[in-house]
């Protein structure tokens, strides 16, 4: 897992989880469709006794089948609020320091980890040669990438 993926995951912005659930749901349907002749006739009698026994749960089954409301993108207020709540009383300056932001999210904030993150996000060579410039570039880029991945970041943190 990449460093930036960990950042998104810690902020609740990881989009891969719903796709994995959808992919997992698709193979059982394919497996059932493979042997459709005999299981289809067996499924029909099972469905008929189930429906007369309880017509209300039948509609409940239909309602419970599509629950896509679980993962939502965090709004601007939620991202900032989440980070501010975590930083409360710590003295961490996550709005300006990439090291503090990573520490707050419980992600390795060592120089090596930040260098890896900078390479992952495509930092230019001239930025990589200067630690202070790399950290500044990295913080701005991480904020922009969080915004691109569904987190609404205030304008003052993107400039």
pLDDT for the residue numbered 119: 97
Q: Within 10 Å of residue 38's Cβ, how many Cβ atoms?
A: 8
The yes-or-no verdict on residue 70 having pLDDT over 90 is no
Mean predicted confidence (pLDDT) in 120-143: 96
- What's the confidence (pLDDT) of residue 37? 45
pLDDT of 154 > 60? The answer is: yes
Is 70 exceeded by the pLDDT of residue 75? no
Is the pLDDT confidence value at 99 over 50? yes
* 89-107 mean pLDDT: 96
Specify the pLDDT at position 80. 84
Find the helix packing angle between 111-120 and 3-11, rounded to 10°: 90
Q: Kindly indicate the confidence band of residue 1, based on its pLDDT and cuts at 50, 70 and 90.
A: confident
Confidence of residue 157 (pLDDT cuts 50, 70, 90): confident
Supply the mean pLDDT for the chain. Answer: 74
Interval 20-28 mean pLDDT:
41
Regarding predicted confidence, which is higher, 157 or 159? Answer: 157
Query: What pTM does this model have?
Result: 0.61
pLDDT at 92 over 80: yes
Measured distance CA(97)–CA(154) in Å, rounded = 16
Alpha helices by DSSP H, listed for the chain, are 3-11, 16-34, 37-53, 55-64, 76-87, 98-104, 111-120, 125-128, 131-148, 155-158
Tokens of 6: 């960990």
pLDDT at 158: 86
**More confident: 121 or 30:** 121
């Amino acid at each position: 897992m990449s460093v930036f993926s960990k950042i998104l995951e810690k902020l609740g912005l990881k989009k891969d989880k719903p796709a994995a659930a959808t992919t997992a749901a698709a193979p059982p349907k394919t497996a059932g469709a493979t042997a459709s002749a005999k299981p289809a006739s067996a499924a029909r009698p099972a469905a008929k006794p189930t429906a007369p026994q309880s017509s209300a749960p039948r509609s409940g089954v239909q309602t419970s089948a599509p629950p896509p409301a679980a993962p939502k993108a965090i709004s601007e207020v939620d991202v900032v609020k989440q980070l501010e709540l975590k930083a409360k009383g710590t003295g961490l300056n996550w709005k300006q320091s990439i090291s503090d932001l990573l520490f707050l999210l419980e992600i390795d904030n060592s120089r090596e980890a930040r260098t890896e993150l900078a390479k992952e996000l495509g930092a230019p060579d001239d930025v990589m040669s200067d630690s202070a410039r790399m950290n500044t570039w990295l913080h701005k880029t991480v904020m922009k990438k969080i915004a691109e991945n569904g987190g609404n970041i205030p304008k003052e943190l993107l400039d």
